[in-house]
């Protein structure tokens, strides 16, 4: 019997199944590509070997957690901060700080005695995120999975302006024109992005050990080393660093089930159903909310976007 976790982000959609002992039984990684429902359905097609009855509870997280919750029939819908913290604390109760850098945003989470005490998210600037690093790797014609290796080979990192993605790219081009080698430029970029993270997102926050580095960018050994150089101590990358949001939501689903609740999970056959959305311009008050209605097989299953709850509190169709 398993618990399902789905993390729908702007860049990737991650799905995991964990068992009673929190062991990851199966996992799926897909590119969201601006179509979260299709990504979920594609992922579920890969998991059709499991039966609906084998899933005791399901949870969703990520920027697309609400949509995902309606689509799969989630029992728990939680934000990324909670999901990442829950997953990290399960792995190591001594975690005090979580550095999470994904495809298009960054987060810092501080914890004390197993409780989140503070957090910050950066969804405005792309500098340091996975999509920015992907772009630079493509421009330099270096596979992104080799980016970290290049950084580790550097003996003298070049100082790159990292406050802004546009300035960072311009400065990299300038340094290339001056003849600096790729290794030193890439290492300098990693250091610049870490400075940007620490001086902006983490400003005013005490980064205490033990530190976990999570999210897709944690695969970049150059970024890990740059964080360690800047902080002066070791930064740990958990085994399933890129799936931690999904793992956390699966653990939360397990907690939900253990409280005696029954699951609302709809099963993996939703991969074959049709979903669509439409807009409702509510004129019930001066707010004039733009309400999004979700439909499955042309039947409404949920609403969101309203401020007062008039629509979102409606009973979803079964």
Domain boundaries along the sequence of the chain: 2-82+245-272, 93-238, 274-318
One digit per residue, the tens of pLDDT, for the chain of length 318 reads 999 999 998 888 999 999 999 999 999 999 988 899 999 999 999 999 999 999 999 999 998 898 899 999 999 999 999 999 999 999 999 999 999 988 778 899 999 999 999 999 876 666 667 778 888 888 888 888 888 899 899 888 889 876 676 777 888 888 888 888 889 988 998 898 898 889 888 888 999 999 999 988 898 999 999 999 999 999 999 999 999 999 999 999 999 999 999 999 999 999 999 988 888 888 888 888 888 888 888 888 888 888 887 887 775 443
- Distance (Å, whole) CA 76 – CA 58: 7
- Distance (Å, whole) CA 241 – CA 87: 10
What is the pLDDT, as a whole number, of residue 17? Answer: 97
Return the sign of the alpha-carbon dihedral for residues 17, 19, 24, 26: negative
What is the pLDDT, as a whole number, of residue 123? Answer: 61
What is the pLDDT, as a whole number, of residue 316? Answer: 46
Q: Do the beta carbons of residue 161 and residue 173 sit within 8 Å?
A: no
Q: Do the beta carbons of residue 265 and residue 281 sit within 8 Å?
A: no
pTM of the model: 0.86
Q: Do the beta carbons of residue 301 and residue 317 sit within 8 Å?
A: yes
What is the distance, to the nearest Å, from the Cα of residue 154 to the centroid of all Cα atoms in its chain?
Answer: 30
Q: At the top level of CATH, which class does the domain 93-238 belong to? A: alpha beta
- Distance (Å, whole) CA 221 – CA 223: 5
**Architecture (CATH level 2) of domain 2-82+245-272:** 2-Layer Sandwich (3.30)
3-state secondary structure of 54: helix
> Same topology for domains 2-82+245-272 and 93-238, yes or no?
yes
- Distance (Å, whole) CA 44 – CA 89: 28
Among 73, 67, 181, 193, residue whose Cα is nearest residue 125? 193
């Amino acid at each position: 019997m398993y618990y399902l976790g789905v993390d729908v982000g702007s860049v990737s959609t991650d799905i995991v199944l964990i068992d009673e002992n929190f062991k990851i039984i199966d996992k799926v990684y897909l590119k969201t590509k601006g179509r979260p429902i299709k990504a979920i359905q594609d992922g579920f097609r890969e998991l059709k070997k499991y039966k609906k009855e084998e899933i005791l509870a399901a949870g969703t997280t990520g920027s697309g957690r609400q949509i995902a919750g309606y689509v799969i029939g989630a029992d728990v819908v939680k934000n990324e901060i909670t999901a990442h913290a829950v997953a990290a604390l399960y792995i190591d109760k001594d975690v005090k700080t979580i550095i999470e850098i994904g495809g298009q945003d960054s987060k810092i989470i501080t914890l004390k005695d197993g409780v989140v005490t503070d957090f910050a998210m950066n969804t405005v600037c792309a500098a340091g995120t996975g999509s920015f690093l992907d772009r630079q790797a493509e421009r330099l014609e270096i596979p992104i999975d080799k980016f970290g290796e290049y950084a580790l080979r550097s003996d003298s990192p070049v100082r790159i302006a990292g406050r802004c993605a546009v300035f960072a790219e311009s400065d990299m081009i300038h340094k290339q024109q001056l003849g600096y080698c790729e290794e030193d430029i890439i290492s300098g970029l990693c250091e610049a992005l870490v400075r940007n993270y620490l001086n902006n997102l983490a400003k005013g926050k005490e980064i205490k050990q033990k530190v976990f580095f999570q999210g897709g960018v944690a695969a970049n050994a150059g970024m890990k080393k740059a964080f360690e150089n800047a902080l002066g101590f070791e930064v740990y990358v958990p085994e399933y660093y890129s799936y931690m949001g999904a793992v956390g939501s699966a653990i939360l689903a397990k907690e939900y089930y253990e409280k005696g609740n029954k699951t609302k999970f709809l099963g993996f056959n939703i991969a074959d159903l049709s979903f669509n959305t439409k807009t409702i311009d509510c004129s019930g008050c001066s707010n004039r909310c733009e309400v999004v209605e979700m439909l499955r097989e042309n039947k409404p299953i949920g609403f969101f976007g309203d401020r007062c709850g008039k629509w979102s509190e409606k009973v979803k169709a079964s």
